[in-house]
Amino acid sequence: YTWPGQWDELEDIMYLQSGYNRRGFHDGVTPCSAFPQGGPGPHARHAAAEWVRTAFHDAITHNKETGTGGLDGSLLYETDRPENTGSIGFTDTFGFFHSFLNRRVSLADLIALGMFTAVKECGGPTVQFRAGRIDATEAGESGVPEPTTDIDATIAQFEKAGYTKEEMIAMVACGHTLGGVHGNDFPDIVGNSSAEAFPQFDSTTAKFDNVVVTEFLSGNTTNPLAAGPDATNSDQRVFVVDKNATMQSLADPDTFRSTCATVFERIIDTVPSAVTLSEPITPIEVKPRIQQFYLQDQSTLQLEGNIRVRTTERQAPDEAKMEYFDSNGNHCDTCTITAPIARFQGGMGIGFGEQFQFYEFNTNVAVGAISKFNVHFTANSDETHTNNGLGFPLETAILNQSPNSCLEQKDDGNGNWNLTAVAAVRNDRTNLPTWFEVTVKRFTEGIALPKLDIQKIEMARWKDAGSDSEYTLYSGSFPLPIDSWSTAYDLYNGEGDDVASVVNINSGQGACNDWTA
């Protein structure tokens, strides 16, 4: 791993569940028995089960021959199909994911991460998570098996998606350890059309265990898809396809856990053939976060942020030191920034067995004095982290002038607020184009999540940063529609392979500060 990495934000969403810098992705399924937070609906619902079912219904429409479909978020556009009955579970899941969705975090990756999170939160095994899924922009092929689908057609649907009979049996058993069938969605199965009627697949509610298997094998199951009307007993038909061989192996709790991890990984890694997934996302040992890096006056830079140190397997250091290098790559004796432990929440972040300690820095540096840094601290022993020998780089070609940028909260008559982005461009690069890209959210009636429409806005020279300054200030603006008032933008300078950027900037304050050199 070399910082910055393409999946840094997903890694945060995966591991920073509580404490400092928490992202709180697991809130939607915590505790495991929680009902969905967003959207309407009775309490007789189970958010963790809905997240797991969402991943399956998206993935199973993969066509291995054509390499299309799979876990690509196309389910967003397919919720009115009969095969997706009970779609409120999908739309509420998407609704919860909304605040995590951006141009670098796809809905499809969030669905996959949702599978990891829900299973883990319910005491299940670790489902390995890879990143890189790309979102569909429209509905894909159909092909989700229904309770009334006969067994040959069901097997054929799983095979079309690339799954064997044994995988099918395990997928259904592992999926149906959580949740149940809703009376209002399937009144004929439940025998009651009430939204409060929600018979469970097994007797251990909200627990990821193999009781759904053992109760089936011992003949005392109350699973509505195994002990219900014959026409809709799809679990019964699936479970006996190999004369209970797979079910018998799953009766061993350890086998159940490891098999579920494997088949759920198969589900979330079922992607269109054009998609290449990353290596599994694992927690990063030392991860800086630059929150502010801008020109404060013509010769001084403001630098603010934090350094996250993984403390799952090391003692938390008392402080972290950033040993920095100037623009010529030289390090001087006093070129060190000391970052003490962050105060908020004790500077500790945790998630899924991982533990992190955060160190904050907030300082001024002369222009040209810093271009990269190593991180040094004393944990169980002295450690210096050099980011694979490269140093942790700071982007000095283009700076985000956050004090001079703003989202002015004044309606332009068409419901837009004016976003102004200001950047400082290093003078050796003012001959290259400078622009910003803002993510505009376009909603469609009846679709739970917006399409992300990336708008590119050229920036023009605004002011000299000062007569002696190495920087020139650029500015651009864009009328932001109401649905996009909370969005992010990226700054760019360059062309071809040589593009410098500052990404994922929040639109921030309501008034822009002027610049006086």
Q: Closest distance between ligand HEM and the C-beta of residue 235, in Å?
A: 7
Contact call for residues 77 and 139 (beta carbons, < 8 A): yes
CA distances from 472 to 291, 326, 401, 423, 475 (A): 21, 20, 11, 8, 10
- Specify the stretch interacting with ligand HEM by CB under 6 A; choose among 43-51, 120-128, 299-307, 468-476: 43-51
- Distance CA(165)–CA(167), nearest Å, equals 5
What is the DSSP secondary structure assignment for residue 454, as one 8-state letter? Answer: E
**Looking at the chain, how many residues does it have?**
517
- Distance CA(288)–CA(325), nearest Å, equals 16
Q: Closest distance between ligand HEM and the C-beta of residue 238, in Å?
A: 5
3-state secondary structure 457-508: EECEEEEECCCCCCEEEEEEEEEEEHHHCCCEEEEEEEECCEEEEEEEEECC
| CA angle 264–313–263, rounded 5-degree value | 5
Asked if 36 is part of the footprint of ligand HEM (rule: CB under 6 A), the reply reads: no
Q: Which residue lies nearer to ligand HEM by CB, 28 or 147? A: 147
Asked if 502 is part of the footprint of ligand HEM (rule: CB under 6 A), the reply reads: no
- Distance CA(301)–CA(369), nearest Å, equals 9
Q: Tell which positions 311-350 bind ligand HEM, by CB under 6 A.
A: none
Give how many residues touch ligand HEM by CB under 6 A: 27
Q: Which residue lies nearer to ligand HEM by CB, 26 or 321? A: 26
Asked if 405 is part of the footprint of ligand HEM (rule: CB under 6 A), the reply reads: no
Q: Closest distance between ligand HEM and the C-beta of residue 352, in Å?
A: 20
Member of 26, 46, 62, 287 binding ligand HEM (CB under 6 A) = 46
Q: Which residue lies nearer to ligand HEM by CB, 175 or 391? A: 175
Member of 112, 172, 261, 449 binding ligand HEM (CB under 6 A) = 172
- Cis ω before 31 (30° cut-off from 0): yes
Q: Which residue lies nearer to ligand HEM by CB, 156 or 457? A: 156
Spell out the alpha helix ranges (H) of 139-180.
151-160, 165-175
Member of 73, 114, 147, 199 binding ligand HEM (CB under 6 A) = 147
Q: Closest distance between ligand HEM and the C-beta of residue 167, in Å?
A: 9
Q: Closest distance between ligand HEM and the C-beta of residue 455, in Å?
A: 38
Q: What are phi and psi of 386, to 5 degrees?
A: -110, 10
Asked if 143 is part of the footprint of ligand HEM (rule: CB under 6 A), the reply reads: no
- Distance CA(248)–CA(166), nearest Å, equals 12
Q: Closest distance between ligand HEM and the C-beta of residue 48, in Å?
A: 8
| Helix or strand holding residue 301 (H, E) | strand 300-310
Q: Tell which positions 55-74 bind ligand HEM, by CB under 6 A.
A: 56
What is the DSSP secondary structure assignment for residue 42, as one 8-state letter? Answer: -
- Distance CA(340)–CA(342), nearest Å, equals 6
Q: Closest distance between ligand HEM and the C-beta of residue 171, in Å?
A: 4
3-state secondary structure 409-445: CCCCCCCEEEEEEEEEEEHHHCCCCEEEEEEEEECCC
What is the DSSP secondary structure assignment for residue 299, as one 8-state letter? Answer: T
Asked if 145 is part of the footprint of ligand HEM (rule: CB under 6 A), the reply reads: yes
Asked if 228 is part of the footprint of ligand HEM (rule: CB under 6 A), the reply reads: no
Member of 105, 238, 394, 425 binding ligand HEM (CB under 6 A) = 238
300-310/319-325 β-pairing: unpaired
- Specify the stretch interacting with ligand HEM by CB under 6 A; choose among 22-30, 49-57, 424-432, 445-453: 49-57
Q: Hunting for tokens 């958010």 — which residue is that? A: 47
Nearest to 131 by CA among 5, 276, 249, 300: 276
Q: Which residue lies nearer to ligand HEM by CB, 85 or 386? A: 85
Q: Closest distance between ligand HEM and the C-beta of residue 11, in Å?
A: 25
Member of 71, 105, 171, 367 binding ligand HEM (CB under 6 A) = 171
> What residues pair up with 479 in beta bridges, in sequence order?
418
Member of 28, 179, 317, 403 binding ligand HEM (CB under 6 A) = 179
Member of 86, 162, 481, 508 binding ligand HEM (CB under 6 A) = 86
Member of 70, 114, 180, 391 binding ligand HEM (CB under 6 A) = 180
> What residues pair up with 477 in beta bridges, in sequence order?
420
Asked if 175 is part of the footprint of ligand HEM (rule: CB under 6 A), the reply reads: yes
Q: Which residue lies nearer to ligand HEM by CB, 163 or 515? A: 163
Asked if 464 is part of the footprint of ligand HEM (rule: CB under 6 A), the reply reads: no
Asked if 176 is part of the footprint of ligand HEM (rule: CB under 6 A), the reply reads: yes
Asked if 387 is part of the footprint of ligand HEM (rule: CB under 6 A), the reply reads: no
Nearest to 268 by CA among 131, 125, 89, 164: 131
- Distance CA(317)–CA(311), nearest Å, equals 9
Asked if 185 is part of the footprint of ligand HEM (rule: CB under 6 A), the reply reads: yes
Q: Closest distance between ligand HEM and the C-beta of residue 414, in Å?
A: 41
Member of 28, 69, 73, 89 binding ligand HEM (CB under 6 A) = 89
- Distance CA(252)–CA(256), nearest Å, equals 6
Q: Which residue lies nearer to ligand HEM by CB, 239 or 435? A: 239
Asked if 208 is part of the footprint of ligand HEM (rule: CB under 6 A), the reply reads: no
| Helix or strand holding residue 392 (H, E) | strand 392-393
Q: Closest distance between ligand HEM and the C-beta of residue 23, in Å?
A: 24
Q: Which residues of this protein are in contact with ligand HEM, per CB under 6 A?
A: 46, 49-50, 52-53, 56, 86, 89, 145-147, 154, 171-172, 174-176, 178-182, 185-186, 234, 238, 267
